[in-house]
A = this chain, B = another copy of it.
Amino acid sequence: MLDELNILKQLLPSLPQAEDVVAGPGDDCAAVACGGRRILLAAADQLVGGVHYYRETTSPEAAGRKLMCRNLSDIAAMGGVPKWALLCVAAGGRSPEWVLAFCRGAAEAGKRFGVSVIGGDLASLPAEGEVASLTILGEADAAAFTLRSGAKPGDLLYVTGEIGNSLASGHHLDFEPRLAEGRFLAENGFASAMLDISDGLLLDAERLAKASRLRLCIDPAAVPLRAGAERESALSDGEDYELLFTVPPGREEELKQVWKLTKLTRIGVAEPGEPDVCDCSGRSLLRNGKCGYEH
């Protein structure tokens, strides 16, 4: 297995970023200035057959849809509007019909949110298997998009929807990217920091804590669970594709009053301190057996 985090740690410092790059690698999307008051958002993600879906039992439409929706979730996490996508598929031992259905699954999922698939590439693999990648492009107002780094001590930690049991429930193949939610939060300034939960609530909370340089205290009992989820594993399972964000305390009441979208739950608070994710008694949840993110 590639140790992605370790490779990135070595790679990122050697990637020069031009002045027009507002946010480089490390957030849900990169953000670049492309003239005017709009910011261009861009993210790329991969889907590997046998890793991100079962090669034998997952339909190509569902796999393609998952790839698109994972990327849409990254746009949602920035509070952006998805616009365009480029789709690459490399496949070996699959029929043209399979590849076509995969691409259509991705395109259909994007179409629901106004995304045009404007380009891409198809290639043959010398061995059996599939690797697909998708780049999503979106836009946001330069004054109203959300990074992971903006949380302040005292901000309240919220999560959309429910957490856990994504694999067994099939949620990981059929989730709703929280685009309306992300955009509403960003455009109205409710979210001081935001990301989407793809690798597990605790791991993604740690990313927010590190980027914002503070400690997040989470009440595990407050985390809303998907049907069938167990509380401990739910915090680290991943593939939830919900939004995790912080709200300045002065905005909480107003948010509650005007919010008309999906379920919203307060699960913790940001505190000053070394980046960490703790329970209410201040005990770290990150390296705590089943509550950890080794999976």
Contact = CB atoms under 8 A, between A and B. Distances in A.
Interface stretch (A110-118, A182-190, A202-210, A245-253): A110-118
Contacts of A139: 34
Contact of A116 (B21, B45, B91, B111): B21
Nearest to A99: B7
A171 to B, nearest CB: 21
Contacts of A90: 46, 48, 131, 133
Contact of A124 (B2, B44, B84): B2
Interface string A12-44: 001111101100110001101011101010111
A122 to B, nearest CB: 4
Contacts of A34: 34-35, 38, 40, 139
A96 B7 contact: yes
B118 A42 contact: yes
Nearest to A91: B2
A99 B87 CA distance: 22
A120 B15 CA distance: 12
Contacts of A38: 34-35
B126 A45 contact: no
A45 B86 CA distance: 9
A103 interface: yes
B125 A88 contact: no
Interface residues of A, number: 69
A83 interface: yes
Contact of A18 (B83, B119, B127): B83
A119 B31 CA distance: 10
A21 B116 CA distance: 8
B122 A131 contact: no
A107 interface: yes
A69 to B, nearest CB: 15
A90 B36 CA distance: 36
A198 B92 CA distance: 22
21 contacts: A2-B124, A4-B122, A7-B99, A11-B103, A21-B116, A32-B83, A32-B116, A40-B137, A42-B84, A42-B119, A42-B137, A44-B87, A46-B90, A48-B125, A48-B126, A50-B126, A51-B123, A51-B124, A51-B125, A88-B133, A129-B129
